[in-house]
Chain A
Amino acid sequence: MMFLDNYRRAMKKLPEGIAEAEINVERKECIKIGVSGGRVALTDVSDVTSIYVRASGEKTGYAYTEDLGEDAQEVLLRAYNNGLISDSEQIDILNTPKTAFNPNTLNDNIQSRNKENQHPVNSSAVVEKAMLLEDLVRKSDSSIKTVLATVRSDTLSSTVLNSKGVDISFKRNVYYAKVNVTAQVMGDSIDAVYSISNSSLEELDLGFLVEKINNSIKNKIEPGSLTSGEYPVVLDQSVGINIMMTAWQLFSGMKYCDGSTALKGRLGEYIGSSAFSIVDMPFHKYTGYYFPFDCEGTPGKEVMLVDKGKFTSLMHNNYSSSQLDLQPTGNAGRVALLTGNIPTDIIVTPKICCIKPGVNSTQQLLQEMGDGVYITESYDIFHSINIGSGDFAIPCRGVFIKDGKPSHSVNALSICGNLIDLFNNVIETSNDFIIDEFLLKSYCVGSPSIRLSKLQING
């Protein structure tokens, strides 16, 4: 990557007026294969490098480019000039080699994974896996009429390079499998979709994926209606994931500081039941995503956000931690939600933000609930939760549970309430736990199934 050397040189001889500068380079090399009807239907291959630049004199300015041939000094100057118009009295805090991530602190597991990641699999291995997955799904249930099995191999590289001497890089491989099916059952068309990820192509658990797809179809057969009201509920893992995909913002240090979340001023208080904990971590064995450092170069730390119901910590970048006189937690990021523009601001984003699992399986949670509703799927991640108030109204579907066993499916539901009430109504979380990536691949969230004493369901 010759352009990086150009930036290294520019950092050593910054253009006039610029006191300090930093670049964050994100490179994504992806192979995506889609198989349908026993043949490869689509192939996407890409290699894109994004350069985020910030430069400070008396103020800090930002720029972004994908033009690798641009003169490094000119890009730095563009960022610097963009900052001149700012009202801000402060310049951004840059890490030094002392405060930034140190590659020697990686444990042996990660070190060895890092070495493996230098050699991602080739496209034919991805094709083979997608073919196998499509075949397994198609043969798993005779009601399945169409299948699209997609397997993706991503190699994601991050570099932070600044004028204070920080020059760190990390590469990780993520393998991802997704299945979309349409089944015909008793004259009705039923769609189902599910996905999984792993750091190893071989370790993608295709059997689990097939089981989830088959269960999803079963849970949608002959849906009935439900009388609106409060019910004892078990939320499936995927519903917990859906909620966390938005709800993590409650724990953003920046949002906490500007008062735009429902948890404003409540740090240190109990906001959930003793069965409810949330942790944000840089690494988890269930996913190939790994966040040893953030986009500012700060090491990724494990942070207990909610500990047995108590709101204990926030996720921070350099700016938000300085506002509260705390240490950053390695949560500086840019891509938080879907956007039509390239997000360039450094904000707070999670690493792998998870509701902590419990000791019993989802099946045991359903049995303990006895009679109630098992919410199996939910939709519309981004319009259904208000972070300022905590109110939510989430479209979903589910299965009636009678004496701990599935009775019949129900669709066109919505679950309504407030997130804080939901946290307080958690009786137990399951030990079967999944992690999923955010659509734009910038973070992950994880959830077990969650048993609630009550939840308003409208049908």
Chain B
Amino acid sequence: MIKVLQTALSGGGDFAELFFENKDELNIKCSQQVLKGITTVHIFGAGIYLLSGTQSIYVYTNNLSFSGLMDAAQKASELLHTDKQPVHNQIVFSMQTVKNPNTVIQYPRTIPHQEKVRVIRETDAAARSAGHSIRQLNVDYFDTDQRILVVNSEGLYAEDRRVTSRLRLQATVEDGTNSHYEWGDFPRPYGFEAFRVKDDYISFAKEFINDIADNMNAVSAPSCVVPVVFEAGSCGTLWHEACGHPLESGAIATNNSDFVGKLGQKVASSKVTVIDDGSIPGLYGTAGIDDEGHPTQKNVLIENGILKGYLCDRLGGRKLNMPSTGSGRRQGYMFAPAARMTNTYLAAGTDDDDEMISSIDEGLFVKRIGGGNSGREFSVSVAEGYWIKDGKLAHRVKGLTLNARGIDLIKRVDRVGKNIETEGGGFCGSVSGLVTTTSFQPRMRVSSMTVGGEGEK
């Protein structure tokens, strides 16, 4: 590995890194109660990351023979456009040991397939027992076991092992005239112990089907500007989209964010404190180290409305003249690292949950967010929303997407509740691929927001 790093640096780079990934995935598909079979996936490759100042070269391959790696290192060296002379520092590796906060009890590979099939069957049966007409139901089981090794020209030698287990349900429910399709995930950052408590996934399956059926009775929301209350838990996606992505160093360094040059300034309501923390045990976005070998850490991004920091990977840190925040992440060896979120949340406040709704004459209550999109303007789709009338939830609404300029919206947060709730998590797709994340919050209210549906007010 030292020889490979030295070869990569021979063209004048000032930093070289080798990222090895050895990952096993298992996928069991069950469609319409028929077990379609098992697929095993073996991902095996390496990436060579070379920096010269703020110029980056990334070369990756799944030819992991010594000659394959040397070829890749040579290619990286040749592609570097620099006049700098190579520095011949001696590389001495120092093992860095960081315990992954997510402890695994039952590694997936040690569990017989039949046990995993049992979980699928029980989940399928639970979904079908929910009492609705199911036109189509797929229950898929996934587990992943990723081992990574990061070594670099500064002598770092760091390893991590990330294990996840997940059920994915896809269903079409019908009521005679209408049908509605949804998918939903039951993701856990654990081994097979994720399914130790049967009630967890059984309840998830029933609620998933009930929710699709309820959604068919939803009516369109009117178009208007009203207060919007976002429920505790997964509505934290709003923070992920509205200010998480714009605070990543990739957006800041390219001037592609409204938060550029605003460190130390008031950018949000005083009730807003936003944190990203990849070291919280039990969450889907947690790891021992990031994908550059830096230990994960708690990063306060906005504190009482004041912008405190950005999320930096190594290269982003160089561009902004800041240290890495342990945020260099990637889907796997096929991606160069980039600053990405881990577990992003709005910190708890002091406001009363019930009052947030009861004090509204007319407004929207968002119970779940389905996904979103980021930029200076962001959008989130409302997976479960209710219209508020005279301080009470009146009826369910459908077909809603909320969009706004992030930096404007976070100034209009007028309530933040006391009780923070986490969420199961999911995947965030961006420049360095899909990475596991969570985003959560206590119940929170935005004083006014444009809501657009097809219905009458």
A residues adjacent to B (C-beta < 8 A): 36, 39-49, 59-70, 78-79, 82-83, 85-88, 123, 127, 145-146, 148, 180, 182, 189, 191, 228-229, 258-262, 264, 338-342, 344-345, 379-380, 382-384, 386-389, 391-395, 397, 411-414, 416-417, 439, 456-459
Contact residue among A49, A262, A339 (Cβ-Cβ distance under 8 Å from B179): A262
**Interface pair A48/B255, CB less than 8 Å apart:** no
Cβ-based interface call for B448 (8 A) = no
Interface pairs (11), CB distance under 8 Å:
A40-B55, A46-B334, A64-B39, A344-B41, A380-B373, A380-B381, A383-B371, A386-B180, A388-B180, A393-B452, A412-B377
Say how far B266's CB is from chain A's closest CB, in angstroms: 19
- Pair A388/B179 contact, Cβ less than 8 Å: yes
A41 nearest in chain B by CB position: B55
- What would 18 more interface pairs be, CB under 8 Å, given A43-B56, A61-B38, A380-B371? A44-B59, A44-B60, A47-B61, A63-B42, A64-B41, A68-B62, A123-B79, A229-B223, A258-B136, A259-B135, A339-B427, A340-B427, A341-B27, A344-B27, A383-B373, A395-B377, A395-B403, A439-B429
Q: How far is the CA of A417 from the CA of B63 in the complex (A)?
A: 49
Contact pick for B44, options A42, A43, A65, A340, CB 8 Å? A65
Chain A binder among B29-37, B197-205, B295-303, B321-329:
B29-37
In chain B, what residue has the closest Cβ to A83?
B37
Assess whether A180 is in contact with B371, with CB atoms less than 8 Å apart. no
**In contact, B331 and A340 (Cβ under 8 angstroms):** yes
Indicate if B129 sits at the interface (CB-CB under 8 A).
no
Q: Are B45 and A82 closer than 8 Å at their CB atoms?
A: no
The answer, among B75, B180, B254, for a CB contact under 8 Å with A146, is B254
**Bound-complex Cα distance A79 to B436 (A):** 28
B147 to chain A, nearest CB (A): 14
Query: Do residues B181 and A387 form an inter-chain contact, with CB atoms below 8 A?
Result: yes
Give which listed residue, B28, B37, B172, B258, contacts A259 with CB less than 8 A.
B172
Q: How far, in angstroms, from A341 to B27 measured CA to CA in the complex?
A: 9
Q: Among A45, A180, A340, A458, point to the contact of B453 (Cβ < 8 A).
A: A458
Report the separation of the CA atoms of residues A380 and B371 in the bound assembly, to the nearest whole angstrom.
Answer: 9
**Choice from A36, A66, A259, A395 contacting B42 with Cβ under 8 Å:** A66
B164 to chain A minimum Cβ distance, whole angstroms, is 9
Chain B residues with Cβ below 8 Å from A456 are: 454
Pick the residue among B39, B65, B80, B436 that contacts A340 (CB under 8 A): B436
Given the known interface contacts A46-B61, A383-B372, A386-B181, the answer about A416 and B37 at a Cβ–Cβ threshold of 8 Å is no
**Residues of chain A with a CB closer than 8 A to B43's CB:** 66, 342
For A60, give the chain B residue with the smallest CB separation: B37
Whether the pair A46, B59 counts as a contact (CB closer than 8 A) is: yes
Q: Which residues of A contact B398 (CB under 8 A)?
A: 391
A73 → B minimal CB distance (Å): 16
Q: Please determine whether A388 and B381 come into contact, CB atoms closer than 8 angstroms.
A: no
Interface residues of B in 247-263 (CB under 8 A from A): 254-256, 258
Cross-chain contact B25 with A342 (CB below 8 angstroms): yes
Tally chain B residues at the interface, Cβ within 8 Å: 82
Chain A residues within an 8 Å CB radius of B181: 260-261, 386-389
Which of chain B's residues 142-166 have a Cβ closer than 8 Å to chain A? 142, 144
Cβ B453 vs Cβ A82 within 8 A: no
Where the two chains meet, the residues of B that have a C-beta atom closer than 8 Å to any C-beta of A are: 25, 27-29, 31-32, 34-45, 54-63, 65, 75-76, 79-81, 113-114, 117, 135-136, 142, 144, 170, 172, 178-182, 220, 223, 254-256, 258, 331, 334, 336, 370-373, 375-377, 379, 381, 398-401, 403-405, 427, 429, 434, 436, 450-454
In the bound assembly, the distance between CA atoms of A262 and B29 in angstroms comes to: 23
Assess whether B136 is in contact with A341, with CB atoms less than 8 Å apart: no
Contact A393 B399 (CB under 8 A): yes
Contact: B37 with A62, CB < 8 Å? yes
Residue of A48, A380, A389 near B379 (CB, 8 A) is A380
Q: Across the interface, do A39 and B81 meet the contact criterion of CB distance under 8 Å?
A: yes
Bound complex: CA A65 to CA B370 (Å): 32
Q: In the complex, which residues of chain B have a beta carbon less than 8 angstroms from the beta carbon of A69?
A: 65
Contacts of A182 in B (CB 8 A): 254-256
* Interfacial chain A residues near B76, Cβ < 8 Å: 45
- Contacts A42-B56, A82-B40, A87-B34 known; A395 to B373 CB distance under 8 Å? yes
Which residues of A are found within 8 Å of B220, using beta-carbon distances?
416
Which chain B residues lie closer than 8 Å to A146 at the CB level?
Answer: 254-256
- The smallest beta-carbon distance between B30 and chain A, in angstroms, is 8
Write the nearest CB–CB distance from B267 to chain A, whole angstroms: 15
Ranked 10 nearest A-B pairs via Cβ: A458-B452, A388-B181, A228-B223, A395-B379, A383-B371, A380-B373, A86-B37, A82-B38, A87-B35, A393-B401
For residue B56, which residues in chain A have a CB less than 8 angstroms away from its CB? 41-43
CB atoms of B37 and A389 under 8 A apart: no
CA distance A65 to B23 in the complex (A): 10
A189, B452: Cβ atoms closer than 8 Å? no
Complex CA gap A229/B79 in Å reads: 54
Q: Are the CB atoms of B172 and A388 closer together than 8 Å?
A: yes
Whether A414 touches B401, Cβ cut-off 8 Å, given contacts A182-B255, A191-B256, is yes
**A residues in contact with B135, CB < 8 Å:** 259-260, 264
Q: How far is the CB of B222 from chain A (nearest CB, A)?
A: 8
Chain A residues with Cβ below 8 Å from B454 are 416-417, 456
Known A391-B399, A412-B403, A416-B399; contact A86-B254, beta-carbon cutoff 8 A: no
Q: Is the CB of A180 within 8 A of B39?
A: no
Q: Once the chains are docked, how many angstroms separate the CA of A40 from the CA of B62?
A: 26
**Structural contact, A389 and B75, CB atoms closer than 8 A:** no
Q: How far is the CA of A137 from the CA of B81 in the complex (A)?
A: 22
**Which residues on B sit within 8 Å (CB–CB) of A88?**
34-37
For B80, list chain A residues within 8 Å (CB): 43
Once the chains bind, are B61 and A341 in contact (CB under 8 Å)?
no
CA distance A443 to B142 in the complex (A): 25
- Known contacts A85-B117, A379-B373: does B42 contact A67 (CB below 8 Å)? yes
Q: Distance (Å) between the CB of B330 and the closest chain A CB? A: 12
B316 shortest CB reach to chain A, Å: 12
What A residues does B34 contact at CB under 8 A? 87-88
Q: How far is the CB of A416 from chain B (nearest CB, A)?
A: 5
On chain A, the residues within 8 Å of B254 by CB distance are: 36, 146, 148, 180, 182
Q: Are B401 and A384 touching (Cβ within 8 A)? A: yes
Question: Does B39 contact A63, Cβ atoms closer than 8 Å?
Answer: yes
Determine whether the beta carbon of B79 is less than 8 Å from that of A43.
yes
Q: Which residues of B contact A457 (CB under 8 A)?
A: 452
